[in-house]
Structure 1
Amino acid sequence: MSDSGGGVHRTSHPRNSSRSNGAVMANGIMNEDDDDDIPVFSGNTGDPRDWEDDEGSFRTAPAYPDEDTRPTSQKEIYGWYSYAWASEVFAICAMGSFIPVLLEQLAREKGHILGDPSLRCKSSENMGPGGAGKGVDPGKAAVCVVEILGFDVNTASFVMYTFSLSVMFQAFVIISMSGAADHGRYRKHLLLIFACIGAISCILMLFINAQWIVTASLLAQIGNVTFGASYVLLNAFLPVMVRNHQTIRMLTMSRTNLPATASNVSLDEEDIGAEDATLLGSTPSLKTDTSSNMTPAMRLSTRISSNGIAIGYSGGVLLQILCIMIVVSSGSTTNSLQVSIFCIGLWWLLFTIPSAYTLRPRPGPPLPLEDGEKFTWITYISYSWRGLFKTIRQASKLRDVTLFLVAWFMISDGVATIASSAIVFAKTNLGMSPPQLAAIGVIMPISGVIGAFSWPRISNWAGWTVSQTILVCISLFAVIPLYGLLGLLGPVRNAGFGLTRPGEMYALAVWFGFVLGGQGGYCRSLFSELLPRGSEAAFFALYAITDKGSSVFGPTVVGVITDRWGDIRLAFWFILALLLVPLPFLYMVDVDRGKQASEDFARARESREAELAAAAREAERAQDDYTDS
């Protein structure tokens, strides 16, 4: 429908007239036609100054009812940064340090030595694996267990099971809510609701004792689920803010004066950057792509995203240091851990307030409905899951995409399992105190930032391709469980090596963070090379879901191994296999072959769409002729 004032029109495809296929999601789950719901600008706009409103701001015609086309303000961007500052503390401080320590400590306070319910467990600071004294052979160590729902569970396994369940529920919630987040007015409302619930779950930890151990686990799961969901919603604002940014609009309007062959220009997810357009993205890591071929919109998106990451990490490290001071000054008591988590929840809640006032709702397009459907939550949920399965079917047709996703499933699971089990291992096997454990939570993100900037230089210096760099990173990750397994050998253990001393954990925290800082960016870069044109956002959604969903299995298996044999160190065999098995799959990925297959896939899809559009136009002309006659 044309806008006579500015010459702007939104292209109306006959196949989208009922909106059965046309809605675009920020994560791209539902529809590979990502540009169908974004304004397309005609070449007949004339002078760009005709677009200015009374305040001198450039505005565009709405592409759908309720669309907010106001230019992105600096205040809105600050609101986006504010939530990164508010919520990242949960990942770094709460789940990364204090919640695992608190859960294991509460379980230990309630637990007993396996086989003798009358013998209570001692503090893990004075104990070896499972509850034996330091220096005891792991195979001879007593095992501390806690009764959960009638079953004796190792205190270390209890933490791993809690993490696995939270990730499983998180993936389910994120997928189910994606339709409501991308369509209608729900995005901001959901973000604030999840933020408040997550913050309150942390605050309530202050009032938990060892007798409420199951409640503590549930609160931890609620916190992790709501954090992941809210961060996904935050990422969904990014492509919208970039698309409405004044500089991008002016650039787009200047393109409208190009010749007719290039007159129809749209700012779709590909322009913004696929990983930033992905709703189901995980907590982002620093970008490593500095290609001169990046579009202005992609550069702006990368800058905002990187600033948000830096701000979030800064807030997390600052609060982590403050919490360490609280724990040290209180003598590393259980209550000091609870106070620290309370402060994390309070921080999360208070710094969400600026976001509530400065982030604009930015409603998405209406949810496309089938004939006879009504707007209900069931409709939103089923819409989201149908889109996920559709993308899976598409990915299965591309060999190299499938090979990569199989490898990525195991890689992300292995890396997540190392991260989730490290704190528990350090507490139960090495007897590290809460302040020492919290220090690990400071070291890893700092080394991660250094790694993010260092890996491109290392890769260029060594002359590695992206695939080779990923193989090197995964091999370096595998060194961590391999080194820990050396501690099972008596001579190595007696010499003080093989992850038998607290100091080694600090060195491995630097190692892990540094490698992690590069691995994530290179995996995204390789995956993006394999994707069909026009389907980037949908496939990156699947990439993120694979990342989230895989993290359920590793911690669960580690928990089962620990329950069966009483020592979490034995689970390092599984983690090592989880990192080595995907290497052949990565090696079999042929980037050139994958590019050609994705190009063929995109052309075939575009050909089918053109045929459908032509048929629809022909039917419309026939209907018009019939009406005229």
Structure 2
Amino acid sequence: MSFEDAVRPSHPSRYNDEDTSPTTPRELKGWYSYAIAAEVFAVVGVGLFLPVLLEQLPRERGVLFSDRSKPCVGPPGSGDAGKFRARAGDADREDQCIVRFLGSDVTTTSFAMYTTSAAVLFQAITLICFSSFADYGPYRKKLLVTFAYTGATVCSLFVFITSSVYFLAPFLVVIGVTCLGSSFSLLNAFLPLLVSNHPSHAKPGPSDDPPAYELEGLNRRDPSNSTYRFHPDKLSEDLDRSSKISSKGVGLGYASAVGFQLFSVGVIIAFDKLGLSKGNPTLPMRVILLLVGIWWALFTIPTLLWLRPRFGPPLPTQSQNGNPSARRNSSVLFYLAFSIRSFWDTLKRASRLRQTLIFLAAWFLLSDAVATISGTAILFARTELHMGTIPLVFLSLTSIGFSMVGAFSWPRVAARYSLSPKIVLIACIVGMEIIPLYGLLGYIPILKRLGVGGIQKPFEIYLVGIIHGLVMGGISSYARSVYAPLIPEGSEAAFFALYAVTDKGSSAVGPALVGWIVNRAGTIRPAFIFLAVLVMLPGPLLWWLDAEKGREDASRLAGEHGSGAAGGYARVGEDDRED
């Protein structure tokens, strides 16, 4: 790219300091780098070791439900430290291990599921309270980096959490998961900007005239102009480019997670050979989380250096009167109220976008199903199939390895058979439905007598992991690329915050219901009925989604909002800007 191309705006500016320069390869590398940094915590931490730690740490302090005098694990030096006690009473299933937490007795499995629900719920509240800042000034990048390094620090602190302070683990999980989800929401908010400012939008070939819709979009500086943005040809180009960038980011993130998981196997084996984990089975996992935190911090550095802030309009200010302490308190309340009002405004604007609402409803259900299946599978393998840490690592490796395959393969399949991103998502839902249906086969009497089929043997869950990985690669790659065109221009962070709130808010429901089912049934398998129904629900909604109409509606709304906002931006002078 020449210097002239690098500095040439890709579309007219709507306010002072808007960065409309073309997206550069270096900027894309900064965007990809954060996927490499944070996906390791998402996969190795949230997806594997944290659910195990949340079950294992209280188990070491728990007692059997049938006999409160018996601990759930053997004492150090007994030969079965850290392992399940023998079955009590019922020969067909293990007696439940319970622990006291916040004044109630809960099973250790429910302890993990309830913590997951609390974490995603708190994350949704955080996004509501603070996400609207990201569409103003440089706050999109500042908040991304702040959440990244806070999350990395909290992840590293798990090295100090032992069974004697197991009750602290949920609080660290809540903070870590909140930082992870919030930072990914902000990273996703850069995606529409990277796509819309891609140099191919403003760079015709040497002998080709620009398309008429590009000329109109570039020549008219009226912010309400929407011809360029929702033109069918540009929609197709942007969907394709968005899918490719998103898929590459997901693929690189999964690749880093797979590499780190292989490294974690070596760490676990080394601790076992040296005898460092004897009597302290969670130590290797806690050390791995320390290393995950360091990885997260290191690979955020290229994002910090290379990803441009892409300034939004100036953040509104309030008059500064009174003493400094009162001004500070007043400012905090002012911006908190401003953010909540902005989020409410985003909800009202989204309510006018029927296609956007259809997608968000589908995503609410789909993300809940995905999050609940992922967490339930690890706990099922741990408590029902009695799989140790290393087999669980290989189960996660299987799923993530095939997620990486799916992330790179689905775009090829879509191109080969001319499938739209929406159809790819529907195909992934069909694939995801196989998982709970296969788990329900364990209720068929003949298979139950055979002891195989319906995830009754450990090897079967690896087959489930393959299916889970392939469909997750498609869902992770295509969900945000389907949603991005449905966002009004200039509101990327606010609408991706709504996307994340829909995602994380729903993900608080499924794990809590699974925890409730386990508490009453004493086993995880009945939860497959709930999951089978949950996975089916988003399919019809996605089928009804009309992406082209949604893009047109979003562009029209951006024009209405922009024409009013343009004057507002123009009226904000230098004296009103944030220092």
Q: Where on the TM-score scale, by shorter chain, does this alignment land: which range?
A: 0.7 to 0.9
Structure 1 position 220, deviation (Å): 1.6
Q: Report the count of equivalent residues.
A: 540
Q: Is the 8 A contact 2:247 2:407 kept in 1?
A: no
Q: Is the 8 A contact 1:179 1:367 kept in 2?
A: no
In structure 1, the partner of 2:439 is 484
Find the residue that maps to 1:152 and give its secondary structure: strand
Q: Report which stretch shifted further, 419-428 or 463-472.
A: 463-472
Q: Is the 8 A contact 1:242 1:272 kept in 2?
A: no
Structure 1 position 211, deviation (Å): 1.6
Separation in 1 of the partners of 2:88 and 2:411?
A: 42
2:143 aligned to 190, 193, 216, which one?
190
Structure 1 position 209, deviation (Å): 0.9
Find the residue that maps to 1:574 and give its secondary structure: helix
2:163 aligned to 210, 216, 219, which one?
210
Separation in 2 of the partners of 1:72 and 1:604?
A: 25
Alignment of 1:399-418 (within 5 A): 402-418=357-373
Distance 1:393 1:232, change over 3 A: closer
Q: Is the 8 A contact 1:146 1:152 kept in 2?
A: yes
Find the residue that maps to 1:121 and give its secondary structure: coil
What is the TM-score normalised by the length of structure 2? 0.78
Alignment of 1:235-254 (within 5 A): 235-240=188-193
Alignment of 1:69-218 (within 5 A): 74-122=25-73, 133=87, 140-218=93-171
Q: Which amino acid aligns with 2:47?
A: G
Distance 1:303 1:267, change over 3 A: farther
Distance 1:176 1:512, change over 3 A: same
Find the residue that maps to 1:110 and give its secondary structure: coil
1:474 aligned to 415, 429, 454, which one?
429
Q: Which amino acid aligns with 1:432?
A: M
Q: Is the 8 A contact 1:476 1:515 kept in 2?
A: yes
Q: Which amino acid aligns with 1:92?
A: V
In structure 1, the partner of 2:263 is 322
Q: Is the 8 A contact 2:115 2:173 kept in 1?
A: yes
> Larger % of helix: which?
2
Structure 1 position 144, deviation (Å): 0.5
Distance 1:272 1:85, change over 3 A: farther
Q: Report which stretch shifted further, 174-183 or 208-217.
A: 174-183
Q: Which amino acid aligns with 1:153?
A: V
What are the Cα deviations for residues 533-573 of structure 1, in whole angstroms up to 9, with x where unaligned? 86995766544432221111000111111122221222222
Find the residue that maps to 2:70 and give its secondary structure: strand
In structure 1, the partner of 2:287 is 339
In structure 1, the partner of 2:397 is 442
Alignment of 1:384-395 (within 5 A): 384-395=339-350
Q: Is the 8 A contact 2:387 2:458 kept in 1?
A: yes
Separation in 1 of the partners of 2:333 and 2:95?
A: 50
Alignment of 1:17-32 (within 5 A): none
Separation in 2 of the partners of 1:143 and 1:168?
A: 27
Structure 1 position 89, deviation (Å): 0.6
Q: Is the 8 A contact 2:247 2:408 kept in 1?
A: no
Find the residue that maps to 1:212 and give its secondary structure: helix
Find the residue that maps to 1:119 and give its secondary structure: coil
Q: Which amino acid aligns with 1:571?
A: A
Find the residue that maps to 1:330 and give its secondary structure: helix
Alignment of 1:36-47 (within 5 A): none
Separation in 1 of the partners of 2:306 and 2:553?
A: 44
Alignment of 1:51-62 (within 5 A): 57-58=7-8
Find the residue that maps to 2:100 and give its secondary structure: strand
What is the TM-score normalised by the length of structure 1? 0.72
Separation in 1 of the partners of 2:227 and 2:46?
A: 34
Q: Which amino acid aligns with 2:270?
A: S
Structure 1 position 172, deviation (Å): 1.8
Separation in 1 of the partners of 2:312 and 2:561?
A: 27
Separation in 2 of the partners of 1:448 and 1:461?
A: 19
Q: Is the 8 A contact 2:189 2:496 kept in 1?
A: no
Percent identity reads 38
Structure 1 position 523, deviation (Å): 5.5
Distance 1:171 1:490, change over 3 A: same
| Structure 2 residues not aligned, in runs of 5+ | 322-326, 568-579
Distance 1:131 1:266, change over 3 A: farther
In structure 1, the partner of 2:301 is 353
Q: Is the 8 A contact 2:40 2:257 kept in 1?
A: yes
